[in-house]
Amino acid sequence: MATLAFKLNEHLYLRDPQHTQLGQNIIQKSVEMIDRLGFEQFTFKKLAEEINSTEASIYRYFENKHKLLVYLISWYWHWIEYRIDIASGSLQNPSEKLRACLRVLADEKKFDAGFEFVNEEALHRIVVAELDKTYQTKGVDDYNKEGLFGGFKSVCRKITTVILEVNPSYPYAASLVSTILVSSNQQLFFSEHLPSLTTIGTGQERYTQLYKFMENIVFKSIQS
């Protein structure tokens, strides 16, 4: 089966890892290791040992581990947009399109066979745990000028457009969408680690609860 690839911002990498076997190994193993170790404990030295290569070979793809993290999370947002397009592309009713978008955000993330070198379930856990680290940094303005948050922004624009189809006069669509995108991951983090901060549970039902929470906020906001 052919592996699909996204066109990501060229400033995210030195060499696109999607198009070589070593690059795909770097992505696959870095997702596994960051998920297991956490970003702070993850290093290129450990990654090189895991893929039976050298640190120098990894630096030919990424300037540093933070750029790699930004790449991985950008890849995740491109995948989310891809899933939204599949889920909502055939729908005509704007409210149903919006609900389809929210379901993609809230649903449990599972392995997508179209991208054999990425474990989307593990990658989503990284997004939940490490998303803030991609933009809460001194270099955020430079990253933004280079377009490194384009994947996140593209998802925001897509859902914002749908909200304005539902209610063209709603004045805070972009603010609502960015809040929901961040909150959907924060609520899962809270349910796992700080449960007193959320009513979202810890079992499989948490994804249903998360969807209902998001649907409630979004539709009550835009219909008020």
Q: What is the pLDDT of residues 105-127, one digit of tens each?
A: 999 999 998 898 999 999 999 99
Pick the CATH number of 10-223 from 3.40.50.150, 1.10.357.10, 2.60.120.10, 2.40.50.140: 1.10.357.10
Res. 142: pLDDT tops 90: yes
**The pTM is what?**
0.95
CB-count burial class (<10 Å; 0-12, 13-18, 19+) for 27: buried
Q: Which residues contact 84 (CB under 8 A, 6 or more apart)?
A: 100, 101, 104, 155, 158, 159
- Are 33 and 97 in contact by the 8 Å Cβ rule? The answer is no
Average pLDDT over residues 141-156: 96
Average pLDDT over residues 40-66: 97
Per-residue pLDDT of 87-105, as tens digits, reads 998 999 999 999 999 999 9
Q: How far apart are the first and last CA of the chain?
A: 48
Per DSSP, 52 falls in state T
**How distant, in Å, are the alpha carbons of 122, 124, 150, 193, 195 from that of 186?**
16, 12, 21, 10, 11
SS3 107: coil
3-state helix, strand, coil in the chain (%, to 5): 70, 0, 30
Q: Percent of the chain scored above 90 by pLDDT?
A: 91
Which ranges in 136-204 belong to alpha helices (H)? 140-145, 150-166, 173-193
**Confidence tier at 203 by pLDDT (50, 70, 90):** confident
- Are 214 and 182 in contact by the 8 Å Cβ rule? The answer is no
Q: Please state, as a whole number, how many other Cβ atoms lie within 10 Å of the Cβ of residue 77.
A: 22
pLDDT at 3: 67
Per-residue pLDDT of 210-219, as tens digits, reads 999 999 999 9
Average pLDDT over residues 3-21: 92
* Cα 206 from chain centre: 18
DSSP string, 6-50: ----GGG-SS-GGGSHHHHHHHHHHHHHHHHH-TTT--HHHHHHH
pLDDT at 4: 78
- Structural domain boundaries of the chain? 10-223
pLDDT at 5: 85
More confident residue, 85 or 224: 85
